[in-house]
Structure 1
Amino acid sequence: MVYVKPSARWVFIAIALMILATILDLIAPWVLSQIFDEGIAKSNMTLVLWLVISLAGLQALKSIGMFIQGYTQELVGQNVVLQLRKELYAHLQRLSFSYYDRAQTGQLMSRMTGDIDSVKNFVGFGAMNLFTGMLTFIGTVIFMMTMQWKVTLISLVTIPLILLVLWRFNRKVGPAWSSIREQMGRLTTTLQENISGIRVVKSFATEGVEQQKFAERNEQSFEMNMNRARLEAKSFPLMGFYGGLTFVLMIGIGAIFVVRDEMSLGTFMAFQWYTWGIIWPLNMLGWQINIMQQAIKAAPRVFEVLDTELDIVTPERAAATDGMKGNVVFDRVSFFFDDQDPKKDKPILDDVSFQVKQGEVIGVLGATGSGKSSLIGLLSRFYDVSSGGLLIDGIDVRQYDLDGLRRSIGIVPQETFLFSASIRDNIAYGFPEATQEQIEAAARKSQIHAFIESMPDGYDTRIGERGVGLSGGQRQRVALARAILMDPPILVLDEATASVDTATESAIHEALLEVMKGRTTFIIAQRLSSIQHADRIIVLERGRLTEQGTHRELNEGDGFFRKLFDRQKQIAQ
């Protein structure tokens, strides 16, 4: 109801128009009876003329009302979609990384589109038409009872049979729609993964495998929809048969009553019209049940996301990030993912402690899976520490304003993502009010300005989805410019030069020396050349901090750093 409330005025208008249309529908057959009984039977053509004109007026008025009603119903439904999608999208933006680690993109897309549309169809049309049908049925029975109660009762003998069919249909179609909605989510997930990974698919020539996978999902969706269609094919014609039988009973019994002079010809003609006021709502009830079951099965999938609690939020009395210097302390930090069991699984980070002073450049080294990226994820509160403390300027990161904290940490991620927009918009993504001079200055520092200027449209050049049209190194340099433009007190380079050649890497690092002055910087790298200018290097092995020191100090030891140094030296030779 909370999503319908903003449209309450239009809901009342739609209901009022429905009631008006129903009343007009109930009056029209009575007017028809008067044409026969009071006009034609008594040869009063003037009365016939006026009654025919009145009947035409009733239909015209009803049509106008139905037009406005249809518009208001759609307006209500679209308003619900607008509010629901807006809230769902906003909630998705606030959910933490741990939620997305578990969620499937295709399922979320299915809930944002198809499931919400199912809810809209019921709120906008299903619920209101259900109300109209009930009102029409009850009103019709009352009018018919007042005109000829015996024929009415006989005509209603098939109603229990129709209701029995509806009850059985409702019991079976609900699970059918539940399966269809889940399968549609799986189908969307398969499609999304294939499109996102199309380069991998083509690289391994597995188009046939992917086609087979999609075909299987598609076939399952087809079978589930055909199962639902079989339920409809069995139920709706049967309801139509019983409805037709109602009409036949009314004609047969009514004719007998007319012959016996127990029912006027006008009433008999009106009953033909009224009978559809009984048959139509019951037949439509089958379709309304269909729409309702779609909504019933779709709504929990939508609200499951909306009801997901936010596990990383800004505290009520948040510390401001203005003037943040960048002194960082990891104090016996341990970290588990949400789906891990601390009693059985090894932590991602295990009792990690070190301090970083403002302006220091820290190299973070370690094998794949050692916890390097998780370390940075905790710093930006993409995740929260499981135990221990993580402080910036003496304040626990969980006490800072969340948006302010993340704007104070400029990150160039290993997996660079660029939006389908111009290069200028991508660089200025976190600082949209930046001037052209500021954008170009950031691009020069990341060694990408000359390349951008060489393009036909310069900074207005639009790039494809996920940065298609740029090389991996060019995408990383655009992402680096985006982080530099934010001018954050803490800078994180997560394999930021992994996709560039050695000469470009050297040029970028030379430019970054100026950028990193007075700025706390973390450089996550696999190549030792990326951290040769670091003030200090920390080494992670299987989540534990095993070495810490300068390049020279670590090279004099016999740990992971020295082994990596010797290996890369041999490769270089």
Structure 2
Amino acid sequence: MKQKTDFQTFISYFKPHRRLFFLDLACALMISLIDLAFPFVSRWCMYTLLPNSIYKTFWMVMIIFLLAYLVRSFFTYIICYYGHTFGILVEADMRKDLFEHMQSLSYGYFDNNRIGQLMSRLTTDLFDITELAHHGPEDLFISTVTIIGSIIIMFTIEWRLALVIAIMIPVFILVVWKSRHSMSEASIRVKQKVAVINTDIESGLTGMKTAKAFANETIEQQKFNTSNDTYKISKKQFHKAMGRFNAIMEFFMCTLSLIVIAVGGALIMQGKMDTIDLITFSLYVSTFVNPVRKLSNFAELFANGTAGLHRFVELLNTKPQLEDRPDAKELTNVSGQIDIDHVSFAYEEDRNILTDIDLHIHPG
């Protein structure tokens, strides 16, 4: 694993299930194309069919789009079901490898890491990675296709208004990138505190009988309250970063609609644009809403998922303290005789477990 980056490790789990992954992206592409087509065809209907009283063709177009939206709903079903199935399969493979690696680690690792912390790596962290595996590429793909497609079509309608919108998009992407960094850091802190509170819960529940026997319930409650408050603070910091991001995004969305109406109105006053084109632009701005919200969700998914992925790879890169030599030979023809001559052993240099032990056990 050390030869791979976190991203390369993540992508390697896609390969066994790549058919489901590409099916998910193909359906996402079809949904984007249907969403892009509606405002463009609506503009054609308002310019050509309705003014020329070609009503039969108009109703045929409406029926075709009704069927297209039925097909779109089917694609949505495939994305929801098979897309999540893909994420589940990736999660199961990662959990299998992680548990298998845990079994190869030395005793010393489990002395220094509590069970609750390891549980969070096998459950909470992997859930966030799964959400990133499914929704991340899908949301990013849909958003990219829809936004770029919308911009291209709008340039063919009225390049001046399209240019204003095109200038605003990079500004929004920059805001997303800046906010993602702060959310990622906050997410890592939350995951660390989740591991701590899981550890305290595991310790408190397994030792509940002992605590009750010695009337230590108050002390155990105080210990739990301390870790619970720490988790609460870190979670509030994450949602503070997320709230800042969402507030900026909502401001951008409202401002975009305002600018389209304002600039479009100015062009209409100058006779450089008509009302039908402005309606078409408004429809495309509405089409922007879902992709932009998907980018918002992607920023949160990316923050949580990469934090979990970093912890996943970090654990996979942890080497056992005791490993077989490359030329190690398998023990065969065992008779049952055990001889230990002057053996010393320690998990760490300053924590001796056995010192100069002699032991001889005869067969049987």
TM-score normalised by length of structure 1: 0.58
Alignment of 1:164-203 (within 5 A): 164-203=174-213
* Residues 255 and 40 (structure 1), Cα distance of their counterparts in 2 relative to 1, 3 Å cut: farther
Count of residues in Structure 1 that have an aligned counterpart in Structure 2: 353
What residue number does 1:286 align with?
A: 296
1:156, 1:246 within 8 Å by CA — same for their partners in 2? no
Aligned counterparts of 2:353 and 2:221: Cα–Cα separation in 1: 37
What residue number does 1:441 align with?
A: none
Instruction: Report whether the alignment pairs 1:233 with 2:246.
Output: no
Aligned counterparts of 2:321 and 2:171: Cα–Cα separation in 1: 52
What residue number does 2:349 align with?
A: 340
Give the CA RMSD over aligned residues.
2.1
2:151, 2:166 within 8 Å by CA — same for their partners in 1? no
Aligned counterparts of 1:354 and 1:110: Cα–Cα separation in 2: 40
Shift of 1:197: 0.9
Shift of 1:229: 1.4
1:118, 1:298 within 8 Å by CA — same for their partners in 2? yes
Aligned counterparts of 2:102 and 2:218: Cα–Cα separation in 1: 34
Aligned counterparts of 1:201 and 1:67: Cα–Cα separation in 2: 51
Instruction: Report whether the alignment pairs 1:355 with 2:360.
Output: yes
Higher helix fraction (1 or 2) = 2
* Residues 63 and 265 (structure 1), Cα distance of their counterparts in 2 relative to 1, 3 Å cut: farther
SS state at 2:12 partner? coil
Shift of 1:181: 0.4
Aligned partner letter, 1:114? T
2:186, 2:241 within 8 Å by CA — same for their partners in 1? no
Alignment of 1:257-296 (within 5 A): 257-258=267-268, 260-296=270-306
Q: Given the alignment, which residue of 242, 252, 255 partners 1:245? A: 255
Instruction: Report whether the alignment pairs 1:305 with 2:315.
Output: yes
29-38 or 349-358, which moves further after superposition? 349-358
List gaps (5 residues or longer) in structure 1. 359-518, 520-573
Q: Given the alignment, which residue of 155, 179, 183 partners 1:145? A: 155
Aligned partner letter, 1:319? E
Aligned partner letter, 1:15? L
TM-score normalised by length of structure 2: 0.90
SS state at 2:13 partner? coil
Shift of 1:67: 1.5
Alignment of 1:20-31 (within 5 A): 20-31=30-41
* Residues 30 and 198 (structure 1), Cα distance of their counterparts in 2 relative to 1, 3 Å cut: same
Instruction: Report whether the alignment pairs 1:5 with 2:27.
Output: no
Aligned counterparts of 1:289 and 1:296: Cα–Cα separation in 2: 10
Q: Given the alignment, which residue of 149, 158, 165 partners 1:155? A: 165
Shift of 1:292: 0.4
1:161, 1:242 within 8 Å by CA — same for their partners in 2? no
Shift of 1:279: 4.2
Shift of 1:51: 1.8
**Deviations 1:86-137 (Å, cap 9, x if unpaired)?**
1112222232322212221010000000000010010111222112111211
* Residues 353 and 320 (structure 1), Cα distance of their counterparts in 2 relative to 1, 3 Å cut: closer
What residue number does 1:319 align with?
A: 330
Aligned counterparts of 1:229 and 1:351: Cα–Cα separation in 2: 55
125-134 or 301-310, which moves further after superposition? 301-310
SS state at 1:326 partner? coil
Q: Given the alignment, which residue of 52, 58, 62 partners 1:42? A: 52
Aligned counterparts of 2:320 and 2:346: Cα–Cα separation in 1: 18
What residue number does 2:3 align with?
A: none
Shift of 1:33: 0.6
SS state at 1:355 partner? strand
Aligned counterparts of 1:72 and 1:61: Cα–Cα separation in 2: 16
What residue number does 1:57 align with?
A: 67
Aligned partner letter, 2:71? L
Aligned partner letter, 1:340? E
* Residues 210 and 354 (structure 1), Cα distance of their counterparts in 2 relative to 1, 3 Å cut: closer
* Residues 263 and 64 (structure 1), Cα distance of their counterparts in 2 relative to 1, 3 Å cut: farther
Q: Percent identity?
A: 24
2:264, 2:273 within 8 Å by CA — same for their partners in 1? yes
Shift of 1:16: 1.3
Aligned partner letter, 1:80? V
Aligned counterparts of 1:126 and 1:37: Cα–Cα separation in 2: 39
What residue number does 2:339 align with?
A: 329
Instruction: Report whether the alignment pairs 1:69 with 2:79.
Output: yes
SS state at 2:341 partner? strand
SS state at 2:344 partner? strand
Aligned partner letter, 2:264? G
Shift of 1:50: 1.5
Aligned partner letter, 2:123? T
SS state at 1:309 partner? coil
2:181, 2:303 within 8 Å by CA — same for their partners in 1? no
For the pair shown, which has the larger CA radius of gyration, 1 or 2?
Answer: 1
Aligned partner letter, 2:358? S
Aligned counterparts of 2:121 and 2:37: Cα–Cα separation in 1: 44
Say which structure, 1 or 2, has more relative contact order (CA 8 Å, 6+ apart): 2
